[in-house]
Amino acid sequence: MPPFTPKLANILLVNIKVERLNEQLELHGYKPVLVATIKDISEINVPYSLALIHENVITGNGSFSPEHLYFLNNNVPTAVFIADPAHVPATIMKFLTASTLEWVYSHEIESGLICSRLDKILVDSRFNDNFQLLQQNLWEKESLKKEILLREQVLSHERELNANIAGSIASGLIIIDLKGNVIMLNENARTLFKLRSTDYIGSAFGKVFLGKIRVVIDDFLKKVLSGSVHHEMKKISIDDSVIEMAFYQMRDYGHTINGVLMLVNNITTQENTAQQLYRAEKLATMGTMLSGIAHELRNPLSVISARAQMALAKESWDKSWALKNFESIEAQTCRCATIINNLLDFARYRATQMSVHRVNKVLDETLTYVEYQNSFDSITIEKNYQEGLVIFGDHSRFVQVFLNIITNASDAMNGKGTLRIKTSSDDPGWVVVEIKDNGSGIDNKAKSKIFDPFFTTKEPGKGTGLGLAVVYKIIHESGGEVWFTSEPGNTSFFVKLPTGMNRHE
Sign of the torsion formed by the C-alpha atoms of 384, 385, 391 and 395: positive
In this prediction, residue 224 has a pLDDT band, given cuts at 50, 70 and 90, of: confident
Give Cα separations from 178 to 173, 186, 342, 468 (angstroms): 17, 19, 52, 43
Radius of gyration (Cα) for the chain, nearest Å?
38
Span 147-171, pLDDT tens digits: 788 777 777 776 666 666 666 676 7
- H-helix or E-strand containing 464? none
Q: How many helices (H) and strands (E) does the chain have?
A: 17, 17
pLDDT band at 436 (very low <50, low <70, confident <90, very high): very high
What domains, with CATH codes, occur in the chain?
A: 9-134 (3.40.50.2300), 169-266 (3.30.450.20), 271-498 (3.30.565.10)
Q: What is the pTM of this model?
A: 0.42
| Helix residue ranges per DSSP H, 42-200 | 55-58, 66-75, 90-98, 107-110, 114-127, 129-134, 138-168, 187-192
Name the phi and psi angles at 12, rounded to 5.
-85, 125
Give the three-class secondary structure for 359: helix
Instruction: Give the residue ranges of DSSP H helices in 227-347.
Output: 268-313, 319-347
- What is the C-alpha end-to-end distance of the chain, expressed in Å? 46
- pLDDT single digits (tens) 299-330: 567 667 766 777 777 767 777 777 777 776 77
Three-state DSSP class for 102?
strand
The residue that leads in pLDDT, 91 or 442, is: 442
Give the residue with greater pLDDT, 492 vs 396.
492
